[in-house]
């Protein structure tokens, strides 16, 4: 339990965690219950720690209710991919699982993970077991723990990328829950059950009740901020000198989620508090996790993220507490510069002599359609790729990485044969867009996002073309609710769903991810969105400075009033 918190006031989830026997709960009994497609109420919370959420097809809910049937429950499984790098064999396994057990598509998330959707309860255990057989897993992909650790995969950065990737993997492994419940339930019960089943392995970092809420760590390699490093609880900014990794600047307190109508909730960007050498960074991350474990709000989950802990206690308190737990002070932060939080598309040759090809994936959804066979094409590449890899980006795209000179023509042919080369001929607005799943699968969604954003971008593109700036990159983010999974508050144009067909419009974030946007107008229809953006885009086309980005223009012209703090975020 956190320091100085009244146990009687703890949220229900805290009590569930405390009684769970380190996340085992009654999940095995829930899985055997054939009366419902759902789990017992307490296990719906616990299964998140195992990498899964309960979902239902919301478009069928009304019809099923009329038939006196429960919702058509299924499960999303999120597969952790530390640093975003998967082998071709692992890609094939995930692709196979989508066909055998779930929706026949793959979802690439904004945090470099795979998601499988529409997994029914009777297939859940086998699906997770096969994920583990591939040497990937889903533990800690969700839940009140440190989640998938992100890293820049931009091929320009390959000079130090391998060293930074090693840090991402080390931090991920160190902060993974140590409970045996995951393996006992999903993988091999006999292998992990000891003499005393009532005494599972304890958690040396997390303790019995884990963290107050989710915790996210990301690494970025300047000048590329493709992981949105300031949007996370801890951001590690790689500092290199003459091609060597020296260590990391440490940012703390980022987070995207908020709740409509509750001004005590807000997105927040992280603060850079110092520099740590590479060999000390894992310990720095652990100590920051333990500060949140001990001081985070366990009474109100809406105010329980690390960002609120920092604002409640003060940044100086948290910095001093970190230094005390480390036994030394962090060094002064080193200079760095970010230029973009987008991806670099097309073929690039790395310093290791191998080729990297970043492919645009609309909404992160890997599927086939009548125009191109995206899923079949990537599968075909995975089947022939020898020594290469698949790199999931923080922008829902994928890099075909470490391709040899010999294999590059083979990959290029498969891209053409499956229509994927033509699929890359999209506008820069599309390339710099992110959308969460939203309707019809997400239980929290108020409106569409993934299925709708591409058509809305097409209409915004028409406006851009009208004013002669059709190839200007602008970051556009859309989510179906305010929780911020698609990081909408870092879009130069951000849309957050209020109701079906209605979106709040946020404007003025920076192109490189170091400034939030602010609320501009509320509950707009598509027609109102276009009418609002048209004169702004016209003004941008006619009055922008050289190399000025759209968000910077809006701030400079006073169209967006921004004091660069959380306090102005809810001001219309």
Of 147, 354, 375, 515, the active-site residue reads 147
Set 142, 307, 354, 481: catalytic member: 481
Rounded CA-CA distance 405/374 in Å is 23
In 140-293, beta strands by DSSP E: 217-220, 234-241, 244-252, 271-277
CB neighbour list of residue 417: distance below 8 Å, 6 or more residues apart: 377, 380
Q: Where are the beta strands (DSSP E) in 386-470?
A: 389-392, 398-403, 433-435
Catalytic residue among 268, 436, 477, 487: 436
d(CA 539, CA 520): 16
Burial 496-528 (b: 16+ CB within 10 A, else e): bbbeeebbbbbbbbbbbbbbbbbbbeeebeeee
Q: Which of 48, 78, 107, 391 is catalytic?
A: 78
Instruction: State how beta strands 234-241 and 217-220 pair.
Output: parallel
Could you list the beta-strand ranges (E) of 114-191.
114-119
3-state secondary structure of 452: coil
Q: CA 422 to CA 413: how far, in whole Å? A: 12
Tokens of 210: 């884990």
* CA 297/CA 265 separation, integer angstroms: 13
Candidate list 214, 298, 367, 376, residue with the active-site label? 214
The residue from 107, 367, 442, 477 that is catalytic is 442
- 285 classed as catalytic: no
Annotated catalytic, 129?
no
Closest among 469, 504, 474 to 491, alpha carbons compared: 474
Catalytic residue of the set 391, 485, 487, 515: 485
| Nearby residues of 366 by Cβ (< 8 Å), 6 or more positions away | 105, 106, 107, 108, 374, 375, 378, 398
- Report, in angstroms and rounded to the nearest whole number, the Rg of the chain calculated over CA atoms: 23
Q: What is the DSSP letter of 142?
A: S
Instruction: Locate 102 and state its tokens.
Output: 């779930």
* Candidate list 107, 111, 121, 216, residue with the active-site label: 216
CB 507 within 8 A of CB 518: yes
CA 516, 520, 523: angle at the middle one, nearest 5?
115
Cα angle 222, 88, 100; round to 5: 120
The yes-or-no answer on residue 485 being catalytic is: yes
| Strand residues in 104-147 grouped as ranges (E) | 106-108, 114-119
Is 78 tagged catalytic? yes
* 293 in active site: no
The answer to whether 147 is a known catalytic residue is yes
The closest alpha carbon to 2, from 258, 178, 207, belongs to 207
Active-site positions?
Answer: 78, 147, 214, 216, 436, 442, 481, 485
């Amino acid at each position: 339990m956190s320091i100085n918190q009244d146990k009687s006031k703890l949220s229900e989830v805290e009590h569930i965690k405390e009684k769970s026997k380190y996340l085992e709960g009654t999940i095995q009994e829930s899985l055997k219950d054939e009366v419902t497609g759902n789990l017992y109420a307490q296990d719906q919370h616990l299964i998140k720690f195992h990498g899964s959420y309960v979902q239902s097809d919301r478009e069928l809910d009304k019809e099923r209710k009329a038939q006196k049937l429960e919702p058509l429950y299924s499960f999303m499984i999120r597969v952790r991919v530390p640093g975003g790098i998967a082998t071709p064999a692992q890609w094939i396994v995930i692709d196979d699982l989508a066909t055998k057990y779930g929706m026949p598509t793959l979802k690439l998330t904004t945090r470099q993970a795979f998601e499988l959707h529409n997994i029914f309860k009777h297939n859940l255990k086998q699906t997770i077991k096969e994920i583990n057989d591939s040497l990937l897993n889903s533990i800690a992909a969700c839940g009140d723990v440190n989640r998938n650790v992100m890293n820049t995969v931009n091929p320009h950065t390959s000079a130090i990328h391998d060293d930074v990737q090693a840090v991402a993997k080390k931090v991920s492994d160190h902060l993974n829950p140590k409970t045996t419940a995951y393996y006992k339930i999903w993988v091999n019960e006999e292998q992990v059950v000891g003499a005393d089943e009532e005494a599972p392995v304890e958690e040396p970092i997390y303790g019995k009740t884990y963290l107050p809420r989710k915790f996210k760590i990301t690494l970025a390699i300047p000048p590329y901020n493709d992981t949105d490093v300031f949007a996370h609880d801890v951001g590690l900014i790689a500092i290199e000198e003459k091609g060597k990794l020296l260590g990391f600047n440490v940012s703390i307190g980022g987070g995207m989620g908020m709740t409509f109508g509750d001004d005590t909730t807000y997105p927040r960007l992280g603060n850079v508090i110092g520099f740590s050498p590479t060999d000390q960074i894992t310990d720095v991350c652990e100590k920051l996790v333990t500060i949140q474990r001990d001081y985070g709000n366990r009474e109100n989950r809406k105010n329980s993220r690390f960002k609120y802990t920092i604002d409640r206690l003060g940044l100086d308190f948290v910095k001093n507490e970190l230094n005390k737990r480390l036994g030394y002070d962090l060094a002064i932060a080193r200079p760095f510069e970010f230029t973009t939080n987008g991806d670099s598309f097309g073929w690039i040759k790395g310093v290791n002599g191998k080729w990297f090809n970043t492919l645009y994936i609309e909404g992160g959804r890997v599927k086939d359609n009548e125009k191109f066979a995206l899923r079949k094409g990537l599968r075909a590449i995975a089947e022939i790729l020898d020594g290469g890899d698949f790199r999931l980006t923080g922008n829902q795209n994928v890099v075909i990485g470490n391709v040899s000179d010999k294999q590059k023509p083979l990959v290029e042919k498969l891209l053409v044969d499956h229509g994927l080369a033509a699929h890359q001929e999209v506008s820069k607005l599309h390339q710099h867009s992110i959308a969460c799943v939203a309707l019809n699968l997400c239980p929290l969604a108020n409106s569409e996002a993934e299925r709708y954003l591409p058509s809305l971008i097409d209409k915004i593109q028409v406006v851009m073309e009208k004013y002669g700036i059709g190839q200007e990159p602008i970051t556009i983010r859309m989510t179906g609710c305010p929780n911020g999974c698609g990081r909408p508050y870092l879009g130069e144009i951000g849309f957050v769903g209020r109701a079906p067909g209605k979106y709040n419009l946020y404007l003025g974030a920076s192109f490189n991810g170091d400034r939030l946007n602010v609320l501009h107008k509320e509950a707009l229809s598509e027609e109102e969105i276009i009418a609002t953006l048209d004169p702004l885009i016209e003004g941008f086309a006619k009055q922008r400075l050289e190399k000025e980005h759209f968000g910077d223009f809006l701030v400079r012209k006073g169209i967006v009033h921004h004091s660069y703090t959380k306090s102005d975020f809810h001001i219309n």
